[in-house]
Chains A and B, each alone.
Chain A
Amino acid sequence: MSQNAPNLPQERILYLDGLVRQARMAAAVFTQFSQEDVDRIVKPMVLAGMAQAQYLARLAVEETKLGVVEDKTIKNMVATEFVYNYVKDKRTVGMIREFPGRGIVEVAEPIGVILSMTPITNPTSTVLFKCIMAIKTRNAAIFSPHPQAWRCCAEAVKVMYETAVKHGAPEGVFTCLESHTHEDNAYLMHHPDIGLIDATGGPGVVKAAYSSGKPALGVGPGNTPVYLEKSADLEMAVVDIITSKTFDNGTICASEQTVVIDDEIYEAVLKNFAELGAHICSPQEAELLGRTVIDPNTGYMQPMAVGQKAGRIAKFVGIPVKPKTKLLIAAVQGVGREYPLSAEKLFPVLAVYRAKSTDEALKVCMDVNHAGGLGHTAVIFSHNDTVIQKFSEVINAGRIIVNSPGSIGALGGVYNDMVPTFSFGCGTGGGNSTTDNVNVYHYLNIKRVARRTQAHMWFRVPNQIYFNMNAVENLRSFPSRSTLIVTNPILEQVGHLDVVRRYIPPETMIRTLLIPDAEPCAAVVMQGVEALSSYKADQIIALGGGSVIDAAKIMKLKYESPQADLEELAAPFLDLRKRVVQYPTEKVNHARLIAISTTSGTGSEVTPFAVLSDKEHGRKVTLADYSLTPDVAIVDPQFVMSMPKGLTVDTGIDCLTHALEAGVSIFASPYTDSNAMQAVRLVFRYLPIAVENPKDEEARSMMHNAACIAAIAFSNASVGVNHALAHSFGAHFNVPHGRANALMLPHVIAYNASVPTKFMPSPNQRAYVAHKKYAMMADLLGLGGKTVDEKVGNLIKSTEQLLDQLGVPRSIADLGISKDDFENAIPALVEHAFDDPSWRSNPRMPLMNELAELFRKAYDGRGPAKRSELEHAHTAS
């Protein structure tokens, strides 16, 4: 330690080390104390401080020659009684606060040894205050008082220490340096066993504390501006200012320094001050006063004036005043070094400024605030809430005192409900770490015990879903004045549109909008919005596959909320509940959306997603919000009976992928599991039949249901890495979505079923369960297998057999894409796949090299020969 105190003799170092060691031992013993133990000590300390308040005040005034015994007595009583009133019921040991709804508990941890510097201006009251805080928080303290206030502080420490130990506090809990030098302080500030420096004092000691590298509490200098605004209660304001500024001869650093008075009330205010015992200086007296009490070289107050009575200062300066003059008031015309009295004055001299307007008054207050008082205290007297608010916005002060005295107001607990203190945090403006009134919580390390919480989950589906053959007849039950049917020309040609029109109630005005059979672009959407607006539609019927239904969803959004910015709404998000961009809730129009699906794959009729093609930038934009979910879904197999074979396969595999991915998603829940599992079962059973025998009504019906059920699952549990890979690959090589999914599927199952390189953070799942979920699916399909690994293997095998049976290409190579082209594309494929939000709910967090590997496996293809190369499940059953 001697490197921090090159000028300290060895015996002095031993002495200081001894003090710290003693405090460290006391602090260690203190850790065993309960809240009740601590509170049993604090109360008698407070009573002892109260009993000795006048004695200690007298000692302080005698030693420091500053202030007023009566006022220092009051300060000592505030430091004990008022502080006790605040801390008595506060929990500072063990569990101090609990937030049951958030699963968080706060537990107090003492700091240990606090090095406490105390000032000359409020010496004994600060000691009393800090002793009570230390005991309440189970800390030991070493006091280093201002050299000119040592004896009174040592006596205050003694009073507190003897009372504390008598009531059970550990011996050695307080010590006071017998005498000290800057070297002593520097040594202690750097001592490894000092946990916190609490520096209440001048700028030098505060700066030294913060420069030590130790955690420190330090107050900054003050220069309190006061705005006396024309709406204020003037008589009250004048009394309050005199009370505050003369309290202990103005030694509290929060006391008023410059009063900025509105022009309209200026004369009346000064007259009132004079009537109550203030001396209003002439311009010559003011100039003389400024030159004398403020050091012209430094701009700081002269020590000889600090804490002295007004009459004494006037006599010293040579200003004749009446006996018992309380306060010297001098007008200033500006703020800064050329106006010395605008500086901090810890004595009963007050500067006043006449302001022509509120703006000017606020600017001058800001000038005072910035001239040495940033972060400390400011005062306003006003009944105009707008002005008070403006003042609090522009003034940088930890305490903004309204319609009450600055000094006593800032202490807290007397004129307001602020925390009682003798240490004013001044924030970064004052070079401090806090703007708080320093209190017991600053003497604690607060530990937060955070229990695992489970995020709220949801299960949201359209209000009504009608299914089975001729479910479209239910359109009859939806009254509408004006309905717009959105569909594509092919569906009109095959007669589906006529079927739909047949069941719309006869009183409904029906219009039809034919749009291209492709992912909608903004122009198509706006065409629909114009039609809806023009027809004042109250109902939209989307008849089609995913593209048509998606288009109708976006049309509805823009029709109901024209201000919706699609580009902004497509912004990426990680968690739906915490997304930055919110979908509009204010609607200028209302239209019911009924979605009638004509393919068995996307399930768009029940999902909250819509894809918009951004042709200008050559990309797709996905919108996702539950407000996009159709109000009514009609899952009528008559509209898919004529689906071509290729489309049946591609959409069917898309449906299977939705179900498999929702089943193992980290957002999966029992609600989504039931849907996902059932959809898997239906696809395995009915998709081959629907492909082989398109006229099989049951197979078509069940596949249509499967698509809807799988979509319900992934609407609430989302999808996974398979979709991320398929989106990237499909877009790059222009491969239909379902086929792209199929090429990835067996590889992704194997990948997800193996021990992840990186786990996905998932508070909703208590363990890694993807492999077990796949095994459950295998069981549901009756695939056999004894262990989880076997079952997963059987699921992969069956999936491959299904794909083979459906005639899906076995590999990317089979699509005619050359190895070179594919390898060249892999960096871009990986980049896009990683950017795709789909994998965010995947059970395994994909690394980029793993995505590349999955792409390569898909290129090489599936099948028994290939599968042997796959990464098999290694997890314990």
Chain B
Amino acid sequence: MAIPRASRVRLIWWLELGLGLELYACAVLALHARGLRATPLLAAPALVIPALVIPALVIPPVFYLLVGLVSLRPFSLRQVLGAAVAMCGFHALLVAATGALYTIPDLLDFGSAVAFALWGSPAVTLLQLTAAPLVFARLRPLLSSPRPARRAQARATPPRRRAEVPGGAAARARDAAWSLPPREPAATMPSVPPLQRVLAVSSSAVAHGVQPVVASPLVLQPVVTPPAPPTPPTRALVRSETGEPMIRISFGRIADQLPVEMFARGREGLHATLRHGVSLLVPRRLLLPYLGEALAPVKWEVVADQFPRDELALSHEEIAGRLPHRSLLLPLDEVVPQIPAELLALSTPAANVYGLEEFPPPFQPHVPPPSETPAVDTRAPAEPAAIALAEPEPPPVSEPREEPEPPAEPEASAEPEGLAEPEPLAEPELFVEPLAPAEPTLPGEEEPSQPERGAEALADRGRTAEARRIIALLAPLMNGLEIGERDGAGTTLVTVVAPTLSEDSVVRTAARVVPFLADARLSDPVAQATLTGAEATIVLTPFGSPGAGGALLVTAVRSRASLAWLERLSRSAAGEARVPAENGGHSSPVGDPAEEMELRATSVPQSVRELAGSLTAFGPVAPTVLRDTAGSLRACLFLPRSLEAMPLAQFARDLYAALEEAEIGQVSSVILRVGAHRLVVRAMDGVPGRAAMLVGGGPIDRPGLARIELDRAATRLGALVRG
């Protein structure tokens, strides 16, 4: 059976005490054996003369009094006197024990030996003066604890509300460690724990039925109050003995901030301490400076004395060290109701709102009947707000459209600029192809399809609606980017292009990549492709499968800055608008089938193996070197074991070939998100021809590092090939 923690603690204390006394005895005997005696033992009877006895009786108490004055905090005369008396008692015991020790080797009578032990040797006396305070310091918690029988008796004692008027109560509470608790009357209500001690309660608080604050030298015990209905927070004024206003906090509200290991009885002790009704007192003046910051911190030192010492397994210093900023955070909902309203009143003048009456309230709520209220789908807006404002009424399809207003014009200066675009964004000039005006219903609320419309028409209309949704999502974020809708490679391209770029170039380049997005040589359709060219960076994000007639979000910016943010933004937008019916199947491989067999794997040089080891951001990758039948290097791959090299090499070769002479300039890299993998196709630096480097990996936690490693690898690989 495991020994309770409190018993272990006490056992250790007693062992330490015994060891200390043993050391004392050894020291005394050692001094005696080495002859460090001031006076021969035969002269001991002379010690009893008053002139010599008086210093022996006066100096230790004075010394202990000084020790008490210096060491006991907070200062209390009663505590100091008590400590001095206790240490004098220990001193007397030590003298008696020392005399007993002397009787053995010198065969003295006990009286002479005690007289000698009292003042016969300065070294021994010094030992006693040192040992007594040390022993007392260690025994102090035990002395402050009641005996088990008393504790049992106390627990069996009926509750008794005791409130004391201000003055002296707090001091007595601090003295709790020095004095034994008052004996309680016999038990009449065994099930209810007793009230041990009241810290401080004002008479007004008692009059208002406020629970008094309780502290016990043994354990924090609850104050039992008759059950009462919940009352609104009261500003009960609690004062300390000096009349200082105090804030009362339920102990249970701050208990979770205390380390459990600080309690001698562990969680058991914590639970016992957490009984309902136990409170702490904190001076109000300490909290006021922080209330403006919506904080109520209190240093541990302020409330430390309100915790029963025998329940603590750690020193106050240790406990304070384990608290954030050595403080407890008091709950504001308990503190604030106890703060007088006058202390919270603001004296600053009200802001001048003169002139408001000139303007009638601009907005009058109109609460339509429930059927009239439009549903707000906050996650699926149907249209850019600018369009809705500029063109509230969509023109009939059959009628020629009037001159469309540039919808972004009114908002351009008020909206924040694009997050991913660091360069200054110009005002959009014209839409390449302005979208249809807003439809009054959201996609989910569209009218039922007409029977005569075919499935293809339905898909087209849904796709257009989804494209509008994407634009709506991106429009306020990418102020200054041109938004349009184009067809490219049989796929609808929803384009968001920086005005400094040619949209035609972007679309044509994107169209080169579209056939590769669902290539069968990839394990999954491409979720996103990022092309970095000499003039632009393009992010392609399919929503729906391009091969199945889905659409593609094409975002193009000039700078690579915040590219990751732009990619994420595009994925979010496309994810919002994803067409669920189109799950993205594979299409046939793109490229010249005649060339598919020309690649063959060759031995990997040691330098390339070392290069593979340098690509740490991609996880473990294995190098593969592929050459054509003529022996020319065509591809160098660094792929995880889970990916097959040959089909990916052919895919990379074809993609790389498709992007030759791209409209946005030479494409230096293509990053593909394929399932959980990220594939990077890029050229080797300074290597002419169609040699490509392909690097793949799983989820990349450090894209910046990955890019740096890629650049280095491309440079080194190019140097190796050229060499």
Q: Do A and B come from one complex?
A: no
* A residues with CB within 8 A of B: none
* B residues with CB within 8 A of A: none
